[in-house]
Amino acid sequence: MDWYSIVKFLHVISAVLWVGGGFVLFLLGVLAERAGNIEDKLQAMRASGQLGGRFFAPMSMLTLIFGLIMCSFWVGFSDLWILIGLAGYATTFSIGMLIFKPTGERIGEMIAKEGVTSAVLAISDRMMRAARFDYAVMLVIIADMVLKPTVYDVGILAGMVLVVVVGAALAFGGNRRLVPSAA
């Protein structure tokens, strides 16, 4: 076994924990939302805030560090798929640190002080919308890392753009609720 394989293994493991863990919380939120279970949805949002700095940020940083090590020593930084991966990483890391972590913490604080209010529900809806876009970006990053497109892979690149556009439309396309609000 060589050093590249070890670093690549560590890169993949940290990415799986980062992306997979976040996806589980997102899925719990979506399932609770569809079932009309406000408490479970809010619990998933609070957990996102609690785990943001303790788990997701370190796993995403390890993913980046191991990826940068591979690029520095073996792969380089000039390939299109590397640039797409870095741009995707910057996007999703920013969403996590600027939206998920503080919003999840805010939801927890608001519930502790005021209980479940319409303001809490509105904030949790915005957080779920951002999560839809974040996971569209994550899907593109995963496809990018596996498929390693070049400028000549127009179909793959078009598909990646389509995923981001659909994710943005699902996240930010209007203010409709997926589940009617509880009366």
23-32 pLDDT, tens digit each: 998 899 889 9
- State yes or no: pLDDT of 183 exceeds 50: no
Question: Tokens standing for 144?
Answer: 């990018």
Predicted local distance difference test score (pLDDT) of residue 174: 63
Can you give the pLDDT at residue 55?
93
**Cβ(21)–Cβ(50) under 8 Å?**
no
Q: What is the mean pLDDT of residues 112-124?
A: 90
Q: What is the mean pLDDT of residues 145-151?
A: 97
Q: Average the pLDDT over 58-78 and give the result.
A: 96
pLDDT at 52: 80
Does the pLDDT of residue 176 top 60, yes or no?
A: no
- Largest CA-CA distance found in the chain, in angstroms, rounded: 61
pLDDT of residue 46: 81
